[in-house]
Structure 1
Amino acid sequence: MPDTTAAAPAAVQPVIVTPDLERLQRFYTELLGAEETTRVPEEGSVFFVGLRIGNGELVLVADENVETGSPVRILLNIAVQDVDGLLERVAPLGGKVSGPPNDMPWGQRVAHIQDPDGNAVNLSQPV
C-alpha cells in the first residue's frame, strides 16, 4: 500500500457561493459567532470572505448570478453549545427552522434549519 500521508489534505473547507455575501455573513456571524479571517479585496466590493466558526472555517464567495434554494446537495453540520437556544434567532436573521430539535439515537440533539440562501444546515450538540 503506498504512503499517502504527504498528499493527505490538511482540512476540508466548505465554500458557499451566494448572491448576497453581506446577508449570509451577517447570518453566520450573528447566529454562530463567526469571525471574519479573510476578506478579498480588503476594500471595495468584496467577493471572498473567510469565516472562523469554532475551530472550523467557512468561506463565502459572491456571485450575483447564482440561484439559491435548490437543489440542495450539501448539508453543513455545525456543532453548537445550545441547539434550542439558537433556534429562536434563526428566523430574525433570515433563515428558516424546518422543525423542532430531536434527540438522535447516536447521541446528538439536532435541529434542521436553512440559512438565508436556503442551504441546509444542521445545528447539533451532544445529548
Structure 2
Amino acid sequence: MAIQPIIVTPGLDRVQGFYSGVFGAVEVHRYPEDGPVFYKTLRIGDAELGLVAEDADVSAPARITLSIDVEDVDALLPLVEATGGRVLGPANDMPWGQRVAHVLDPDGNPVNITQQL
C-alpha cells in the first residue's frame, strides 16, 4: 500500500520546476505521452508526487501540507525563491530532533522542509 499526494495546478510546468529545482524531483510518467499533458508523476527520493494540469483556485486555503525530508534544509532555502516559491521564515531546530523550514510552492501549497538532526 502507498499514498501518493497529487497537486492540482493551473501551472504544471512552473510547479514541476519548483519540485525539480528544490528537491531534485524527476518526471517518471506523463499522460498522455504526446500532446498537452494532463498528469505527471514525479519521483522525489523513494516517494512519488502527482501533478494534474487543471484550472484550480490557488487562493483557496490549503488543507494538506507536504513534508519532505532532506539532508540540509539551509542549503535548499535559497532555491525555494529562485524556483518561484516563498520562504516563510528561517529554519528552526525542533525539540523532536528535526530542523524544519516552512515554505510555499509556486501555487501557495505549504511544504515543510525537514532534516534529521
Instruction: Specify the TM-score bucket, using the shorter chain as the normaliser.
Output: over 0.9
Q: What is the aligned length? A: 117
Deviation at 1:43, TM superposition (A): 1.3
Structure-2 residue corresponding to 1:45:
36
Q: Which runs of 5+ in 2 are unaligned?
A: none
- Identity value in percent: 56
Deviation at 1:92, TM superposition (A): 1.2
The answer to whether the aligner puts 1:116 opposite 2:99 as a matched pair is no
Q: Which aligned pairs between 1:57-76 and structure 2 lie closer than 5 A? A: 57-64=48-55, 66-76=56-66
Measured in 2, the distance between the counterparts of 1:102 and 1:20 equals 30
TM-score by length of 1: 0.90
Structure-2 residue corresponding to 1:31:
22
Measured in 1, the distance between the counterparts of 2:92 and 2:69 equals 14
Measured in 1, the distance between the counterparts of 2:115 and 2:86 equals 19
Measured in 2, the distance between the counterparts of 1:110 and 1:18 equals 25
Structure-1 residue corresponding to 2:74:
84
Structure-2 residue corresponding to 1:56:
47
After the TM superposition, list the runs of 4 or more consecutive aligned residues in structure 1 that deviate by more than 4 angstroms: none
Bigger Rg over Cα: 1
Q: Which runs of 5+ in 1 are unaligned?
A: 1-9
RMSD over aligned CA atoms reads: 0.7
